Amino acid sequence: MRAGSDEPRTAERKHHHLPIEASRVHWGYFSRSLQPQLEIASGDTITIETLTQHASDDPELMITGDAAAESVFGWTRARKNVDRRGAGPMDASVFGRGAGEGFGVHICTGPVAVKDAQPGDVLEVRILDIVPRASRHPKHSGRVFGSSVAAWWGYHYGEFLAGPKPREVVTIYEIFDEAVAPHARALYSYRWEPQTDPSGVVHATYDYPGIPVLPGTVKRRHDVLDGIRIPLRPHFGVIAVAPREVDFIDSVPPSYFGGNLDNWRLGKGATVYLPVSVPGALLSVGDPHATQGDGELSGTAIECSMTGTFEVILHKKTDLAGRPFADLSYPLIETETDWVLTGFSHPNYLAEFGAQGQSEVYAKSSLDLAMKDAFRKMRRFLMNVKGLSEDEAIALMSAAVDFGVTQVVDGNWGVHAIISKRLFHQDDS
């Protein structure tokens, strides 16, 4: 199962490459029992290819001609290369959507095992580079495309002004990542029409990932967002280690293990620290985004296949004292300028809700709960990491911490708290 990797050697940093194809992804779920694709050592770097689960919104632009994408999305009546999509039952006995039921949607590449990682350790994942994956279709070769869906899980879905109500809308974008001001422009959009998947199941809504949308089954509108250039913020929506509580976790709700954080600050140059829960950590990456607003209102970003290069550093439990990520119980993001703490409606919904967690969390999300969590985490960070008293921490939060809405569409809604690193590192000028 090892792909493009070398065995790590002591005291020597290795570079690994994890290309993508059907056998190297888990689609729509995390699991502590997945076999690692490869093992790396602390300090190694790794290039991980990822695909957007929305490539099937326009297969010609985003799948055709790309052997890896064709492998992952490959699906005929006779054969579905990646059968399980989601953490639901393989026999689709709940809704009949397909194997895994689409309870979780993200194509995740991995997992990658980290040598010597044990529960209680912290995994530092530095994002060294992010490069969009260009089309390999002969007619579009070298161009980059993405898709965004205003879907039934979007925040707006119960709020339509005009009919038809409800409706789902897919917008296809071209990505100009090499422009002086990198941006996306809309190419066309279409309203979702019932799609019959290759297995013969009809999807009246966008309820299962990877359904190929063929020309002629939808009506394309080309005069969409004319003249508007959307600045890029390339990042990975999903960076996860495997959770400990249960097996087969829906990839949608983020939590203490990371996962579908959907925070655009996780771009090139940023780092995320994740608490290790299982031996080997089992790092996975996916859900590549060309850009996203805080909120991710419609339910998706501009989703766009991308390849990331990461430096992965393991911090052993016994070496954490005095470090910013000591006593870490949630994904902590560090950018060039800021610390970004991730608050959730339910910080560990798997533990909180038990066996029903994966459905309960969707019903009980609230920005008010996420704000409370972000507040508590920032107070703890300022006290434990920065050595402030509780009174100092409260004062500083009021004067200098910015709370923002991360997302209101991922089951476990998020509020982040940002504090500038500059406050603590200033000369006397």
Based on CB atoms, which residue is closest to a second copy, 101 or 303? Answer: 303
342: contact with a second copy by CB under 8 A: no
Strand, coil or helix: what is 170?
strand
Token pair for 278: 């299982």
Tell me how far apart the alpha carbons of residues 242 and 34 are, in angstroms, rounded to a whole number: 9
Q: Which of residues 171-200 bind a second copy (CB under 8 A)?
A: 171, 179-181, 183-184, 186, 189, 191
Tell me how far apart the alpha carbons of residues 106 and 61 are, in angstroms, rounded to a whole number: 19
Report, in Å, the least distance between residue 261 CB and a second copy.
Answer: 16
- Taking phi over 0 as left and psi of -120 to 50 as alpha, with beta for the rest, 318 belongs to alpha
229: contact with a second copy by CB under 8 A: yes
364: contact with a second copy by CB under 8 A: no
155: contact with a second copy by CB under 8 A: yes
Q: How far is CA 8 from the centre of its chain?
A: 27
402: contact with a second copy by CB under 8 A: yes
Q: Shortest CA distance to 359 belongs to which of 87, 28, 53?
A: 87
DSSP category for residue 34: P
Report, in Å, the least distance between residue 37 CB and a second copy.
Answer: 31
Token pair for 167: 């409706």
Rounded to 5 degrees, φ, ψ at 293 are: -85, 155
Cβ atoms of 26 and 182 within 8 Å: the answer is no
Of these, 161, 202, 321, 363, which contacts a second copy (CB under 8 A)?
A: 161
Based on CB atoms, which residue is closest to a second copy, 126 or 386? Answer: 386
Based on CB atoms, which residue is closest to a second copy, 131 or 297? Answer: 297
Pairing state between β 202-203 and 195-196: antiparallel
Based on CB atoms, which residue is closest to a second copy, 17 or 380? Answer: 380
Based on CB atoms, which residue is closest to a second copy, 276 or 408? Answer: 408
Based on CB atoms, which residue is closest to a second copy, 153 or 310? Answer: 153
Of these, 213, 302, 340, 385, which contacts a second copy (CB under 8 A)?
A: 302
What does the per-residue mask of binding to a second copy show for 407-426, with x meaning CB under 8 A?
Answer: -x------x----x-xxx-x
CA distances from 202 to 193, 231, 242 (A): 10, 36, 33
Q: Which of residues 27-66 bind a second copy (CB under 8 A)?
A: none
Of these, 225, 313, 320, 326, which contacts a second copy (CB under 8 A)?
A: 225
377: contact with a second copy by CB under 8 A: no
Tell me how far apart the alpha carbons of residues 367 and 73 are, in angstroms, rounded to a whole number: 35
227: contact with a second copy by CB under 8 A: yes
Report, in Å, the least distance between residue 322 CB and a second copy.
Answer: 17
169: contact with a second copy by CB under 8 A: yes
CA distances from 301 to 216, 222, 406 (A): 25, 20, 12
Strand, coil or helix: what is 148?
strand
Report, in Å, the least distance between residue 83 CB and a second copy.
Answer: 30
Token pair for 322: 């005095």
148: contact with a second copy by CB under 8 A: yes
Q: Shortest CA distance to 39 belongs to which of 80, 2, 69?
A: 2
150: contact with a second copy by CB under 8 A: yes
Q: Which stretch binds a second copy (CB under 8 A): 60-68, 222-230, 269-277, 316-324?
A: 222-230
Which residues, in sequence order, are CB contacts of 128 under 8 Å at separation 6+?
Answer: 45, 268, 308, 309, 310, 311
Report, in Å, the least distance between residue 305 CB and a second copy.
Answer: 17
Token pair for 3: 């792909």
Report, in Å, the least distance between residue 227 CB and a second copy.
Answer: 7
Q: How far is CA 160 from the centre of its chain?
A: 27
One-letter amino acid of 342: T
Based on CB atoms, which residue is closest to a second copy, 14 or 191? Answer: 191
Of these, 100, 228, 279, 310, which contacts a second copy (CB under 8 A)?
A: 228
Based on CB atoms, which residue is closest to a second copy, 7 or 327? Answer: 327
Q: Which stretch binds a second copy (CB under 8 A): 86-94, 112-120, 286-294, 307-315?
A: 286-294
